[in-house]
Amino acid sequence: MAVVDQKRIARNTLMLYIRMGVIMLIGLLVSRYVIKILGRDDYGLYGAVGGIVIAFSFLNGVLSSACNRYFAINIGKNDKVALHKIFNLNVTIFLGIGVLILILSETVGLWYLKCKLNYPVQRADAVFWVYQFSILSFMVNMMATPYQAIIVAHEHMEVYAASSLIEAGLKLIVVFLLSRMNADKLVCYSMLMFCLTLGMGLFYFIYSKTCYEECRFKFYWNAGQFKEVVSYTGWNVIGALSGIGRFQGVNTIILNRFFGLSANAAWQVGYQNFYMNVNNFVSNFTKAFNPQIIKSYAQNERDAMMKLVFQSSKFSYMLLFFIVLPVFIETSFLVNIWLWKVEIPDGAVLFARLLMIVALIDSLSYPFMTAIQATGNIKWYQITVGGVILLVLPVSYIAIKLTDCGPVIVLWILIITSIASQILRVFFMKWQLGMKIRMYILHVLCPVFSISVISVTIAAVSKHFLCSGIWQSLIEIAICLLATGFSVLFIGMTRTERKHFLETVRKITARLTIRRI
């Protein structure tokens, strides 16, 4: 009978949460100076062109989850021989996918870059080199994915967290070097980011090869397994491409085409620094749950798996809401402090707020994705959900053509398609895993809806009575945190969850006190 390792989940969750807090702060600092050094237009241009790395991070993320599925299942079965074989097969497949995307990038992608992308003609050379460095960065990330996945599958989150912190620190060095360079800043930034990506990719490769016996690559071929893995990975690629279209497609195809680099810069501020930062909190939090969900499925412990899915979905939302509410209420104040003496792109504040709503909706979905991935039956899931997600592109195009709405209409369409895709995931969970929708509503939706309504009401009322100013904004942030904290503790958590949480806090406090003494 499967035993869910709650202590390991709690420890890994804490490490990943601390990791993301530090990374978010460093990321905001780095972004501030990058915007200042590059300027608004070049920053928007990097978002439209160099954003291919950000876009394909979705592809790496989905492919990584595919690896995690096979790795975690074999680790759960304690089958080291099968684990070694499936690892070797995945590395071979990733190499093939990487070469295919490289060919498409240097043909179709290059054509779109030269013929369709909206940018000043005098920046053509810079755009070309940014694009090339972005492709190289993507290729490195692609080949590092199986090595990252094996670390996560083994639940060695301390390694994953430490490497990510090192990467964040190196980004500060990148900004320092960029400020000292006299050549084209945009090209230099792209080159330095590629060097950073290459260094981190080599780290994952060397560490995994040294510490895990199954990572010693040896060519392995099995036609049956290849067909199974390629089919599974192929459907995941379709899902990943819908994610790329959803965000990078909106930025590069819709916003750039109709509204130019100013809209790209506003999107980049909202997406890269707000959506990605808060969303990474959730995606890294769920990394602590994902191996246990997959292993529970592999051991046919469906009740344990569903309990983990509900807990992960609920806590993902609550952890994110705790961050999002004060940031949402005081976005303008925080952006003005963050970008003090830096030109703020028009619409950046509104973009940031609406993208944080998208992140909240998405936070409920990650455990569902993991559970459905565990079944291996993902064909119709990827086609249906991916198709709904991609509707944001044609619907946005038609809405802009037929109406006089500004770029904000794209964000509202993005929110609507996010809600629709989550509804579809609920029905797929019922169809494939027998999830009871009533139980999902009771254990997940009711708690998150309750804490949202109560916290937002308190925040809105206090905001109404407070005047504008620095101290008033700080008081409002404190009120939001307190309202959300108490709502989560006494409404969002069950009695058992609250007891475990308070015990964990006491233990951490006791340890810190002993260390001080």
DSSP secondary structure code for residue 121 in this structure: G
The two tokens of residue 420 are 């629709």
DSSP secondary structure code for residue 432 in this structure: H
Nearest 10 degrees: Cα torsion 401, 402, 405, 409? -80
The two tokens of residue 106 are 């240097």
Range of weakest confidence among 28-32, 170-174, 331-335, 361-365: 28-32
CA distances from 459 to 332, 334, 342, 453 (A): 16, 16, 29, 10
pLDDT of 58 strictly over 80: no
The two tokens of residue 38 are 């590059």
256 sits in which H/E element? helix 256-270
The average pLDDT across 66-77 equals 73
CB 217 within 8 A of CB 79: no
What pLDDT is stored for residue 177 in this prediction? 92
- Quick one: how far is CA 353 from the chain centroid? 17
Most confident residue range from 29-33, 56-60, 227-231, 280-284: 29-33
pLDDT of 447 strictly over 60: yes
What would the DSSP string read from start to end of 374-396?
A: HHS--HHHHHHHHHHHHTHHHHH
DSSP secondary structure code for residue 403 in this structure: S
Query: What's the pLDDT tens digit per position in 253-289?
Result: 888 888 887 888 888 888 877 887 777 777 766 766 7
DSSP secondary structure code for residue 184 in this structure: -
Query: What's the pLDDT tens digit per position in 216-258?
Result: 777 777 777 777 777 777 777 777 777 777 887 788 788 888 8
CA distance 425 to 340: 42
Place 418 in a pLDDT band, splitting at 50, 70 and 90: very high
222: left (phi over 0), alpha (psi -120 to 50) or beta: beta
Q: Cα-flanking dihedrals φ and ψ of residue 318, to 5°?
A: -65, -40
What pLDDT is stored for residue 199 in this prediction? 93
The two tokens of residue 134 are 């972005």
Query: What's the pLDDT tens digit per position in 343-357?
Result: 777 788 888 999 999
DSSP secondary structure code for residue 271 in this structure: I
The two tokens of residue 418 are 């996010």
Percent of residues, the chain, with pLDDT higher than 90: 17
pLDDT of 2 strictly over 50: no
